[in-house]
A = this chain, B = another copy of it.
Amino acid sequence: MTLGPLPETDLTRHRRLREQGSLDRADLEAILDAGFVCHLGVVVDGRPLVVPTVYGRDERQLYVHGSVASRSLAGGIPVCVTVTHIDGLVLARSVFEHGVNYRSAMIHGEARKVTDPEEKLEGLRLLTEHAAPGQWSYARQPSRKELAATTLLALSLEEASVKIRTGAPDDGDGPDAELGLWAGTLPLTSAWGAPEPDPALPSEILIPGHIARREGTRHG
């Protein structure tokens, strides 16, 4: 069972730059699947705390490695998880029209601390496979003790908002177009490099295919 289109709620309604907003769940999923690091926001003693951490997902939930926020997570607490990919700079004729091409997803909800060992194992599998496909079955899986030492949060993907900006600057048909200035975009791309073996590794252990294959592929 999958979730429907992204709902417009008080939290997800696009107030600014509405033309950059999307209510398409496929856009949300594509943004989540293109990355593996999110920024997790929580409120601690009335102040915001924004922490980078790793995540994975299934069709209904986001799983977030939550150790940093754990001291404030006895029960469900409101969180905001944001995933952003920067695609380039928008260099317009005027400073005012400068901007960024990006894809960003913001998920709102009450984070739930995963306590059931089976769900925790499955959540960690999703998280591991999301960041490093193939590693769950290749590496040594968590022991009972390691599982207990790991804090995993679950967050429904129900309430989310997406913003995307693509393309050229917006001042190509205004009076600034007469200034004779160059305008366009400067793309930014993130890509995986060559795997670097642990110096402690015996040289006869070769890089497995599921890791070697990522070299040169795009991230984000």
Contact = CB atoms under 8 A, between A and B. Distances in A.
Interface of A: 11, 15-16, 36-37, 39-43, 46-52, 54, 67-68, 71, 78-82, 84, 86, 88-89, 91-96, 98, 100, 102, 104, 106, 108, 124, 128, 131-132, 135-136, 138-143, 146, 149-150, 168-169, 172-173, 176-177, 179-201, 205-208, 211, 214, 219
A48 B41 contact: yes
In the complex this chain forms, how many copies of it are found?
Answer: 2
From DSSP, what is the main secondary structure of chain A's interface residues? mixed
Contacts of A191: 188-191
B188 A189 contact: no
A36 B190 CA distance: 15
B198 A52 contact: no
B84 A52 contact: yes
Nearest to A96: B146
Contacts of A98: 128, 131-132, 135, 139
Contact of A50 (B41, B94, B139, B199): B41
A196 B47 CA distance: 41
Given A39-B39, A52-B104, A89-B131, 11 more contacts: A48-B79, A91-B132, A94-B140, A95-B142, A138-B181, A169-B198, A181-B205, A182-B208, A183-B198, A183-B200, A186-B195
